[in-house]
Amino acid sequence: MLENSVWRQYHDTLDIHSVLSEIYAPWSEMELEEDELRLHNTLKAKLTKKEFRLFAMDTADVDDALIKERLGYDEEGLRQAKEKLYKKLKQDKVRLAFRKNVIFKTE
């Protein structure tokens, strides 16, 4: 299903869990969702299309010159966009959306 997604344009695999794990490492108590499809869909829901493309390109180590060309940024604009993106990913309302849903059973 995700073969033609923005993420797969820049990444060989659907490795969103490992990328987010690095970002959320300071929150060691946070257990990330492991389903890559859910992580992908949550990213798409929480980020704008341009932010999602920037995130996919930046985490795939795409050259900044290509990112600027594709997304229409200048040097300062790209720096600010990356700063805003990673700040947004660390906000509670976004970060907590990536947590594993734990269902408690009561008997």
Measured distance CA(55)–CA(46) in Å, rounded? 12
User: Collapsing DSSP states into helix, strand and coil, what is residue 73?
Assistant: coil
pLDDT tens digits, 37-80? 888 899 999 999 999 999 999 999 999 999 999 999 999 999 99
Measured distance CA(28)–CA(58) in Å, rounded? 24
pLDDT tens digits, 21-44? 898 888 877 788 888 888 889 999
The single residue listed with the structure tokens 């923005």 is 6
Measured distance CA(87)–CA(94) in Å, rounded? 10
